[in-house]
């Protein structure tokens, strides 16, 4: 089975569909709190064995310096059954994926190459002008007209609100331009690329619209832009 850690940490791009068997499901209240009993770091992620009110559980977050005994809160928590970690060479019967909200007594996370990790991008009041040229679309147009645009090239300009590098040989980002709505997820577009970027950057993306993209184990992305190139 391909490691789906990165896909889980991309954290539910709009319109993700999960199969019943072996799929991800929301944790209670979408938040997990516990005390760290064990820490295992791999290249980009940190695995944590936690003691929670409901018992012990494993969790995975973006790589963060944590120590045994730290109290942590994991937000947007999703539970996956029968997950295989290639990096750790082990299978987890159940594991929680999410974003680390904070840890008592722990310094802010360091960026991979030194310095401090960047603060989350403020997604409020994003407004980016539509790209110019052939096949130019807004985020909302791509998501809303995915059936018509399937397997066709598009050009879209927006701000990167989330970025995950080196996942399954690609970099994954979420793009917003101020169009669309939170209610139906039409304001957030998933893009895969080999180009590097950073959260907060405004980029022009040229790629191909894919629909019902199946990554296995129940992960089907209803719409995304794949194999994209970025222009800053």
Domain ranges in the chain?
Answer: 5-103, 139-231
User: Measured between alpha carbons, how far is 177 from 139 in angstroms, rounded to an integer?
Assistant: 6
pLDDT in tens, the chain (232 residues): 334 555 555 544 443 333 333 344 444 457 889 999 999 988 778 899 999 998 999 998 888 889 999 999 988 777 878 877 878 888 888 888 888 875 433 433 333 323 333 445 778 889 999 999 999 999 999 999 999 999 999 999 999 998 877 777 788 899 999 999 988 889 999 999 999 888 899 999 999 999 988 765 455 788 999 999 998 8
Q: Cα 138 to the chain's mean position, in Å?
A: 21
Q: Which two tokens stand for residue 218?
A: 């129940």
User: Measured between alpha carbons, how far is 163 from 156 in angstroms, rounded to an integer?
Assistant: 17
* Opening angle at CA 161, ends 159 and 162, nearest 5: 135
* 5-103 and 139-231 have identical folds: yes
CA separation (Å) from 15 to 86, 100, 224?
27, 23, 10
- pTM comes to 0.57
Report which of 132, 49, 44, 144 is spatially closest to residue 95, judged by C-alpha positions.
49
DSSP letter string over 82-119?
A: EEEETTTTEEEEEEEEEEEEEETT-PPPBPTTSSBPPP
Q: How does DSSP classify residue 131?
A: P
CA separation (Å) from 6 to 37, 119, 134, 193, 196?
23, 20, 33, 14, 16
Q: State in words which class domain 139-231 has.
A: mainly beta
CATH fold, domain 5-103, is OB fold (Dihydrolipoamide Acetyltransferase, E2P) (2.40.50)
CA terminus-to-terminus distance, the chain:
35
């Amino acid at each position: 089975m391909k490691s789906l850690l990165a896909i889980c940490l991309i954290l539910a791009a709009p319109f993700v569909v999960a199969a019943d068997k072996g799929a991800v499901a929301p944790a209670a209240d979408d938040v997990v709190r516990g005390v760290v009993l064990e820490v295992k770091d791999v290249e980009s992620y940190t695995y944590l064995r936690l003691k929670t009110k409901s018992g012990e559980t494993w969790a995975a977050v973006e790589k963060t310096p944590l120590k045994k005994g730290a109290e942590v809160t994991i937000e947007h928590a999703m539970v996956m059954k029968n997950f295989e970690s290639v990096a750790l060479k082990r299978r987890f019967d159940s594991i929680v994926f999410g974003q680390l909200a904070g840890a008592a007594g722990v310094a802010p996370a360091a960026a991979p190459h030194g310095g401090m990790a960047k603060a989350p991008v403020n997604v409020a009041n994003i407004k980016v002008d539509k790209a110019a040229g052939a096949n130019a679309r807004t985020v909302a147009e791509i998501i809303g007209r995915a059936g018509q645009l399937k397997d066709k090239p598009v050009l879209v300009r927006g701000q990167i609100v989330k970025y995950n590098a080196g996942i399954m040989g690609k970099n994954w980002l979420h793009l917003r331009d101020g169009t669309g709505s939170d209610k139906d997820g039409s304001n957030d577009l998933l893009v895969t690329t080999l180009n590097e970027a950073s959260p907060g950057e405004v980029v022009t993306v040229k790629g191909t619209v894919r629909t019902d993209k199946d990554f296995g184990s129940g992960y089907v992305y209803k719409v995304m832009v794949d194999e994209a190139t970025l222009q800053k």
